[in-house]
Structure 1
Amino acid sequence: MEQPLRNVRPNIVQSIRAFTVKDLQAAAEALGHHFLYANLATALNKQDILELISKQYQLPPHNGKNLDALYDLLTDAVHKSGPQTGFVVVLEHIPTSPKFDKEAREQLLDVFRDVADFWAERKVPFRCFYSFSVARAPKPADLESCDEPLLTDKLVDVSPQALRMSSPFNAGYWLSAA
């Protein structure tokens, strides 16, 4: 049987790229690791992100509701609960909006990088995969009665793989598919 995630370092935070959430979940099960998934598509700001992660990862309520508290929950609290076999973590659709700008996204990912380092020191695999999304403009008011969804209602995956695949001008992509 092929070793799942064999080409992915054991403690890393990286773009989801060619992986699917379903594949990552199956890999976590095959490896006997915890699978933590958070869909952040509805988040508008840092507080929304923290609440969604806490809820979807089923973390215990925390007082600080900040990035330091998230780090503590994913490290010390879990470490004190007993031996861990490993983690496959997914942060899907991290928003790219004015209220959650590039600096805020990097701060969030830095927390997960620090968590990966924490678990690396304890020889426990912690692989975190993420994707970004862009919220599109809402429908104009005069189209509110229209039942058919508009293209602008959808979130767009802007991962490097998706951008590479979406460009008709990327000759390398089209030539490599032949």
Structure 2
Amino acid sequence: MLLQSIRPNVVQAIRAYRVEDLQQAAAESGQHFLYAHLADAASKQEVIERIAAAFLFPEHFGKNLDALYDCMTDLVHKSGPQPGFVVVLEHLPDNAKFDRESREQLLDVFREAADYWSDRRVQFRCFYSCQYPAQEAGIWESRTLETTAPLEKPLPKSAANKAGGNPNFGLNMPLMSSAFDTTAWLSAA
């Protein structure tokens, strides 16, 4: 079973998992599956509103991070024993109105919810993916791996001493699109 291989009470990037597999694993283990697709949200307020709509929060939901935490924890806890949660936040935006700081604030709410449920011995796993500007422009799928051009001349030895090692180390290594993409490393070998 997939969930047995994933540490409980965690908030992590979805990377190696497919939404469908997580949904099936939640169903097989009898846990709640909560899913929000957030690609169309442009601001922090819209992200919170879409999560509230997707998770079927009550109409009196305050539409802020504190209210989100309350709905993910205390409100649900008061309704009785819980079997566990698998939460997926897909395509968190990355723009001026929902920047990385806003994303971390949102994820902190889910981290705190994970701690809350951990204290009550209920499994809570939250997975998220982020939408990047290149992805919005359709460049994400067509992006290829490229190696950086070698330096024409090595850096001076004084730079090596300041950096604590070889100043040219790693400069000719190809960029990886993900930690699981070993194609670039194998072709460089």
User: Normalization by structure 2: what TM-score?
Assistant: 0.74
Provide structure 1 residue ranges, at least 5 long, that are not aligned to the other structure. Answer: 138-150, 158-162
Give me the whole-angstrom Cα distance separating, in 2, the residues matched to 1:112 and 1:75: 10
Is residue 36–residue 89 contact of structure 1 (8 Å, CA) maintained in 2?
yes
User: What is the aligned counterpart of 2:23 among 22, 25, 35?
Assistant: 25
Q: For 1:92 and 1:99, how far apart are their aligned partners in 2?
A: 17
Counterpart of 2:25, as a letter, is A
Go from structure 1 to structure 2 and tell me whether the alpha carbon gap of 1:84 and 1:60 turns closer, same or farther (over 3 Å shift).
same
Partner residue, 2:37: 39
Matched residues in 1 for 2:36 and 2:108: separation?
A: 17
Counterpart code for 2:36: A
Determine helix, strand or coil for the equivalent of 2:36: strand
Say whether residues 1:117 and 2:115 are aligned partners: yes
Distance 1:129 1:20, change over 3 A: same
Q: CA deviation at 1:60?
A: 1.0
1:64 pairs, out of 27, 41, 62, with 62
Contact 1:12–1:127 (8 Å) recurs in 2:
yes
CA 1:91–1:156: 2 relative to 1, 3 Å: farther
Aligned twin of 1:140: none
Q: 3-state SS of the aligned residue for 1:65?
A: coil
Query: Tell me, which stretches of 5 or more residues in structure 2 are unaligned?
Result: 147-173
In structure 2, relative to structure 1, the CA distance for the partners of 1:63 and 1:20 (3 Å cut) is: closer
**Cα RMSD, aligned residues only:** 2.6
Distance 1:155 1:99 in 2: 21
1:5 partner SS: helix
User: Which amino acid counterpart does residue 105 of structure 1 have in structure 2?
Assistant: R
What is the one-letter code of the residue matched to 1:4?
L
The amino acid across from 1:173 in the alignment is T
Larger Rg: 2
Residue in 2 that maps onto 1:173 = 182
How far off its partner does 1:61 sit?
2.0
Q: Distance in 2 between matches of 1:155 and 1:73?
A: 37
How far apart are residue 6 of structure 1 and its match? Answer: 1.9
Structure 1 stretch displaced more, 105-114 or 56-65: 56-65
Comparing 55-64 with 85-94, greater Cα deviation is found at 55-64
Secondary structure of the corresponding residue to residue 2 of structure 2: coil
Structure 1 pair 176/85, CA: closer, same or farther in 2 (3 Å)? farther
Q: Check whether the contact 1:62–1:69 (CA below 8 A) recurs between aligned residues.
A: no
Against the structure 1 CA distance between its residues 50 and 173, is the aligned structure 2 distance closer, same or farther, given a 3 Å change threshold?
same
Q: Structure 1 residues 53, 31: CA separation in 2 closer, same or farther (over 3 Å shift)?
A: same
CA spacing shift, 1:122–1:47, aligned 2, 3 Å: same
How far apart are 1:59 and its partner, in Å?
Answer: 1.3
CA shift, 1:44, in A, is 0.4
The residue aligned with 1:74 is 72
Q: Identity rate of aligned residues, in percent? A: 53
CA drift at 1:5: 1.9
In terms of fraction of residues, the more strand-rich structure is 1
Give the number of the structure with larger relative contact order, counting CA–CA contacts within 8 Å between residues 6 or more apart. Answer: 1
**Cα offset for 1:92?**
0.2
Sort the Cα spacing of 1:15 and 1:40 in 2 relative to 1 into closer, same or farther, 3 A: same
1:109-152 Cα deviation digits (max 9, x unpaired): 00000000000000000000000002469xxxxxxxxxxxxx83
